[in-house]
Amino acid sequence: DAKTTQPPSMDCAEGRAANLPCNHSTISGNEYVYWYRQIHSQGPQYIIHGLKNNETNEMASLIITEDRKSSTLILPHATLRDTAVYYCIVRVASNTGNQFYFGTGTSLTVIP
Amino acid sequence: EAGVAQSPRYKIIEKRQSVAFWCNPISGHATLYWYQQILGQGPKLLIQFQNNGVVDDSQLPKDRFSAERLKGVDSTLKIQPAKLEDSAVYLCASSLSPRGLYEKLFFGSGTQLSVL
């Protein structure tokens, strides 16, 4: 069962910020939001994750709403190499460990 | 640091045949995951190991799929017999700690299976 909802596709002009939204309205208090991306024929690659505070690293920024029901991944200056499928994931904790539930992802195309 | 290794990269079989995939996780990673990714969909968890024990196999079709991680290091996923709907990319991932706050999954490049 999908725990996240994302638009199926988006375009972004090269050099502009790409803002990818994600809805996770059923998220629980101890569940983290992760973002991964997958370039064709490769395995998914970690981008960033957070619980409730906004996070930034060398790749992207993650903005999580105060009620934690949605988030946005921001790629500040998109390049052609950022063309990929981006997955918003909820990490569910259990007694035996963590489970990562992938949604259907957003296919981002960066346009020259 | 070496990444997650998977083999073979591609496999083509006929339905009802059997097939096996191999995964070697990053050294020291206790948790190993097998995911199935059907074309156009996100990865779906099949089975999760903690060292050599299974912690979640609720979505593994046990009548035809099996997996093992005998020494808590590398792992094998087997399908016997294969069906047309098993055509997918099979991804292996590993993580250092199953409960860490900063747990990350590291993925291999996957094995692309085509069942004819």
Residues of chain B with Cβ-Cβ distance to A100 below 8 Å are 33, 45, 105
Give me the average pLDDT of each 10-residue run along chain A (112 residues).
87 97 90 94 94 93 95 97 96 81 93 96
Lowest mean pLDDT among A43-52, A88-97, B45-54, B77-86: A88-97
- Verify whether the Cβ–Cβ distance A99 to B48 is below 8 Å: yes
The three-state (H, E, C) secondary structure of chain A, written as one string:
CCCCECCCEEEEECCCCEEEEEECCCCCCCCEEEEEEECCCCCCEEEEEECCCCEECCCCEEEECCCCCEEEEEECCCCHHHCEEEEEEEEEEECCEEEEEECCCEEEEEEC
- Verify whether the Cβ–Cβ distance B45 to A36 is below 8 Å: no
Q: What is the pLDDT of residues A42-52, one digit of tens each?
A: 999 999 999 99
Q: How many CB atoms lie within 10 A of CB A72?
A: 16
Question: Which residue from A minimizes the CA distance to B105?
Answer: A46
Query: Nearest by CB to B55, which of A87, A96, A104?
Result: A96
- How sure is the predictor about B70, in pLDDT bands with cuts at 50, 70 and 90? confident
pLDDT of amino acid A99: 85
CB A9 within 8 A of CB A70: no
pLDDT of amino acid B103: 84
